[in-house]
Structure 1
Amino acid sequence: MRLVIVSNRLPITVVEKAGKLTFQRGAGGLVSGLSGYLDYLRSSSSTKEYIWVGWPGIAVADEMREELKSRALSEFQAYPVFIPEKSMEEFYHGFCNKIIWPLFHYFPSYAAYDESYWRRYKSVNETFRDAIMKIIKPDDVVWIHDYHLMLLPKLIRERMPDVPIGFFLHTPFPSYEIFRLLPGKWRREILMGLLGADFIGFHTQDYSQYFLRCVLRILGYEHDMGKIIGEGHIVRVDTLPMGIDFNKFHNAVNSPEVQRERYNLKKTLADSKVIFSVDRLDYTKGVINRIRGYEIFLEKNPQWHKKVTFILVLAPSRIGMEHYQRTKKQIDGLVGEINGRFSSIDWTPLLYQYGFLPFYPLIARYSISDVALITPLRDGMNLVAKEYIATRAEQTGVLILSEMVGASKELGEAIIINPNSREEIAKAIQEALEMPKEEQIRRNTIMQKRLKCYDVIQWAEDFISGVFSVREEQKKFNARLLSTHVKGQLVRDFGKADRRLLFLDYDGTLVPFAGHPEMAGPDEEVLNLLDRLSKYPQIDVVLTSGRDKGTLQRWFGMLNIDYIAEHGAWIKEKGEDWKLTGALATDWKPHLLPILKMYADRVPGSFVEEKEFSIGWHYRRSNPESGSLQARELTDELINFTANIDVQVLQGSKVVEVRNASVNKGVAAMHFISRGSFDFILAIGDDSTDEDLFKMLPGTAYSIRVGMTSSHARFNLRNYVEVRKLIEELIK
Structure 2
Amino acid sequence: MVSPAPARTYDFVIAANRLPVDRTVGPDGEETWTTSPGGLVTAMESVMRDREAAWVGWAGFPGDAPEPFDDGPLRLCPVPLSAEDVEHYYEGFSNGTLWPLYHDVIVPPTFHRSWWNVYREVNRRFADAIAEVAAEGATVWVHDYQLQLVPALLRDQRPDLRIGWFNHIPFPPVELFAQLPWRATILRGLLGADFLGFQRPDDARNLIRSCRAVLGATHKGDVVTWAGADDGRPGASPRAVRAASIPISIDAAGFRELADQPSVKARAKEIRESLGNPDVVLLGVDRLDYTKGIRHRLRAIEELLEDGAISPPEVVFVQVATPSRERVEAYRTLKEQIEGTVGRINGDFSHLGDTAVHYLHQSYPREEMAALFQVADVMLVTPLRDGMNLVAKEYVTARHDGGGALVLSEFTGAAEEMRAAYLCNPHDITGLKETILRAIRDTHEEKRRRMRSLRRQVRTYDVQAWADSFLRALEVAPGRPARSRRSISPMV
Query: Is the contact made by 1:278 and 1:314 (CA closer than 8 Å) also made in structure 2?
Result: yes
Alignment of structure 1 residues 395-434 onto 2, 5 Å: 395-434=402-441
CA deviation string 1:300-354 (max 9, x = no partner): 2346442111010001000121111111111111111111111112311111111
Deviation, 1:262, is 1.2
Query: Is the contact made by 1:258 and 1:361 (CA closer than 8 Å) also made in structure 2?
Result: yes
Query: Is the contact made by 2:320 and 2:359 (CA closer than 8 Å) also made in structure 1?
Result: yes
Which of residues 449, 465, 479 is equivalent to 1:474? 479
Question: CA, structure 1 residues 718+127, in 2 after alignment: closer, same or farther (shift >3 Å)?
Answer: closer
Deviation, 1:19, is 4.5
1:237 aligns to what SS in structure 2?
Answer: strand
Question: CA, structure 1 residues 421+468, in 2 after alignment: closer, same or farther (shift >3 Å)?
Answer: same
Which of residues 359, 370, 381 is equivalent to 1:374? 381
Deviation, 1:108, is 6.5
Deviation, 1:15, is 3.5
Question: Structure 2 CA distance, aligned partners of 1:121 and 1:260?
Answer: 47
Question: Structure 2 CA distance, aligned partners of 1:219 and 1:75?
Answer: 41
Question: Structure 1 CA distance, aligned partners of 2:185 and 2:357?
Answer: 47
Task: Give the aligned partner of residue 62 of structure 2.
Answer: 59
- Given the alignment of the two structures, is residue 28 of structure 1 paired with residue 31 of structure 2, yes or no? no
The code of the aligned residue for 1:119 comes to N
- Given the alignment of the two structures, is residue 347 of structure 1 paired with residue 354 of structure 2, yes or no? yes
The code of the aligned residue for 2:366 comes to F
- Given the alignment of the two structures, is residue 443 of structure 1 paired with residue 450 of structure 2, yes or no? yes
TM (normalized to structure 1)? 0.62
Query: Is the contact made by 2:346 and 2:356 (CA closer than 8 Å) also made in structure 1?
Result: yes
Question: Structure 1 CA distance, aligned partners of 2:107 and 2:377?
Answer: 37
Question: Structure 1 CA distance, aligned partners of 2:311 and 2:110?
Answer: 45
- Given the alignment of the two structures, is residue 11 of structure 1 paired with residue 20 of structure 2, yes or no? yes
Question: Structure 2 CA distance, aligned partners of 1:359 and 1:458?
Answer: 22
Which of residues 151, 154, 174 is equivalent to 1:153? 151
Deviation, 1:74, is 6.1
Question: Structure 1 CA distance, aligned partners of 2:112 and 2:310?
Answer: 53
Question: Structure 2 CA distance, aligned partners of 1:301 and 1:120?
Answer: 53
Query: Is the contact made by 2:52 and 2:74 (CA closer than 8 Å) also made in structure 1?
Result: no
Task: Give the aligned partner of residue 496 of structure 1.
Answer: none
Deviation, 1:141, is 0.4
Query: Is the contact made by 1:376 and 1:402 (CA closer than 8 Å) also made in structure 2?
Result: yes
Deviation, 1:75, is 7.3
1:77 aligns to what SS in structure 2?
Answer: strand
Question: Structure 2 CA distance, aligned partners of 1:101 and 1:718?
Answer: 34
2:476 aligns to what SS in structure 1?
Answer: helix
2:53 aligns to what SS in structure 1?
Answer: strand
Question: Structure 1 CA distance, aligned partners of 2:147 and 2:106?
Answer: 21
Question: Structure 2 CA distance, aligned partners of 1:77 and 1:134?
Answer: 13
What is the root-mean-square deviation of aligned Cα atoms in Å? 1.9
Query: Is the contact made by 2:68 and 2:75 (CA closer than 8 Å) also made in structure 1?
Result: no
The code of the aligned residue for 1:423 comes to T
Which of residues 194, 199, 211 is equivalent to 1:198? 194
Query: Is the contact made by 1:232 and 1:718 (CA closer than 8 Å) also made in structure 2?
Result: no
1:213 aligns to what SS in structure 2?
Answer: helix
The code of the aligned residue for 2:371 comes to A
Tell me, which stretches of 5 or more residues in structure 2 are unaligned? 1-9, 227-236, 488-492
Tell me, which stretches of 5 or more residues in structure 1 are unaligned? 43-47, 482-716, 722-732
1:318 aligns to what SS in structure 2?
Answer: coil
The code of the aligned residue for 1:69 comes to E
Deviation, 1:59, is 2.5
Query: Is the contact made by 2:284 and 2:318 (CA closer than 8 Å) also made in structure 1?
Result: yes
The code of the aligned residue for 1:34 comes to M
Question: CA, structure 1 residues 151+205, in 2 after alignment: closer, same or farther (shift >3 Å)?
Answer: same
Task: Give the aligned partner of residue 93 of structure 2.
Answer: 95
Question: Structure 1 CA distance, aligned partners of 2:15 and 2:310?
Answer: 52
Which of residues 383, 387, 395 is equivalent to 1:388? 395
1:297 aligns to what SS in structure 2?
Answer: helix
Question: CA, structure 1 residues 430+466, in 2 after alignment: closer, same or farther (shift >3 Å)?
Answer: same
Task: Give the aligned partner of residue 270 of structure 2.
Answer: 264
Structure showing greater relative contact order (alpha-carbon pairs closer than 8 Å, 6 or more residues apart): 2
Which of residues 3, 7, 11 is equivalent to 1:2? 11
Question: Structure 1 CA distance, aligned partners of 2:312 and 2:131?
Answer: 61
Larger radius of gyration: 1
Aligned length: 465
Task: Give the aligned partner of residue 236 of structure 1.
Answer: 242
Question: Structure 2 CA distance, aligned partners of 1:58 and 1:450?
Answer: 39
Question: CA, structure 1 residues 427+211, in 2 after alignment: closer, same or farther (shift >3 Å)?
Answer: same
Deviation, 1:49, is 2.5
CA deviation string 1:499-522 (max 9, x = no partner): xxxxxxxxxxxxxxxxxxxxxxxx
Question: Structure 1 CA distance, aligned partners of 2:354 and 2:161?
Answer: 61
Task: Give the aligned partner of residue 130 of structure 1.
Answer: 128
Deviation, 1:419, is 1.0
Alignment of structure 1 residues 610-621 onto 2, 5 Å: none
Task: Give the aligned partner of residue 3 of structure 2.
Answer: none
Task: Give the aligned partner of residue 218 of structure 1.
Answer: 214
Query: Is the contact made by 1:72 and 1:80 (CA closer than 8 Å) also made in structure 2?
Result: no
Bigger drift between 206-215 and 102-111 goes to: 102-111
Deviation, 1:70, is 4.4
Deviation, 1:425, is 1.7
CA deviation string 1:475-499 (max 9, x = no partner): 7xx5xx8xxxxxxxxxxxxxxxxxx
Query: Is the contact made by 1:401 and 1:416 (CA closer than 8 Å) also made in structure 2?
Result: yes
1:132 aligns to what SS in structure 2?
Answer: helix
The code of the aligned residue for 2:241 comes to V
